Amino acid sequence: MTKDVIALTPKMPDLPTLLAGLYAGGPDLGVNTLADGAVVQLCAPDGRPLVSVETPVLVQVPGETARLLGSEGAAHQGPVWWTEARASTAVAEAGRLAGSFAGRLVTVLGGTVWPPGAATTDVVPLTTDVSAVPVPATTAPAVDVLTPSTAVVIQDRPLVAMTSWLSDALRAAAEDERAVQIVTPPGSRLTLATRTALRGLPNRWVVQDPEDGYYDGLSGAVLHWKGGTFAPVRDAHGAARLAGAFRARADAPGRQLLLTLRTRHPADADLELGRALETVCTRLAGGPPAGWSTAEPVNLPWSTRQVTDLARSRAPRPTWLIAVGRPDRPLIATVRVLRTPAGVEEDIALALGYGDDESPPLDAVEDLAAELDAGHGLVTLLTAVRAGRRDLTVPAHAEPVPTPVTFTVGHAEAGRTGRPRATETARGPAPVRLGPGHRPALHYRLGEGGARVPGR
pLDDT for 438 equals 82
Q: How far from chain centre, in Å, is Cα 125?
A: 36
Q: Cβ contacts of residue 47 below 8 Å, gap of 6+?
A: 30, 32
Q: How high is the mean pLDDT in each 10-residue block of the chain (456 residues)?
A: 83 89 83 80 84 94 94 80 91 89 94 91 81 66 90 93 92 92 96 90 92 95 96 91 86 88 94 97 97 97 97 95 95 96 96 94 97 97 96 94 96 77 59 89 83 40
Question: In Å, how far are 7, 20, 50, 122, 263 from 107, measured between CA atoms?
Answer: 10, 11, 22, 12, 49
Closest by CA to 231, choosing from 213, 257, 245, is 213
Amino acid (one-letter) located at 12: M
Bridge pairing between strands 331-340 and 319-324? antiparallel
Q: Say if CB 35 and CB 10 are below 8 A apart.
A: no
DSSP category for residue 67: H
Closest by CA to 76, choosing from 13, 120, 10, 11, is 10
266 CB neighbour count, 10 Å cutoff? 10
Q: What angle do CA 19, 86, 200 make, to 5 degrees?
A: 145
Instruction: Kindly give the interhelix angle for 94-109 and 15-22, rounded to the nearest 10 degrees.
Output: 140
pLDDT for 451 equals 46
Distance between CA atoms of residues 427 and 421, nearest Å: 12
User: Is residue 337 helix, strand or coil?
Assistant: strand
Whether a cis peptide bond, with omega within 30° of 0, leads into 266 is: no
pTM of this structure: 0.90
Distance between CA atoms of residues 124 and 23, nearest Å: 9
- The answer for 269, left when phi > 0, alpha when psi is -120 to 50, beta otherwise, is alpha
User: Is residue 99 helix, strand or coil?
Assistant: helix
Q: Which residues pair with 207 in a beta bridge?
A: 184, 215
pLDDT for 266 equals 94
Distance between CA atoms of residues 13 and 56, nearest Å: 7
Element (DSSP H or E) covering residue 189: strand 189-190
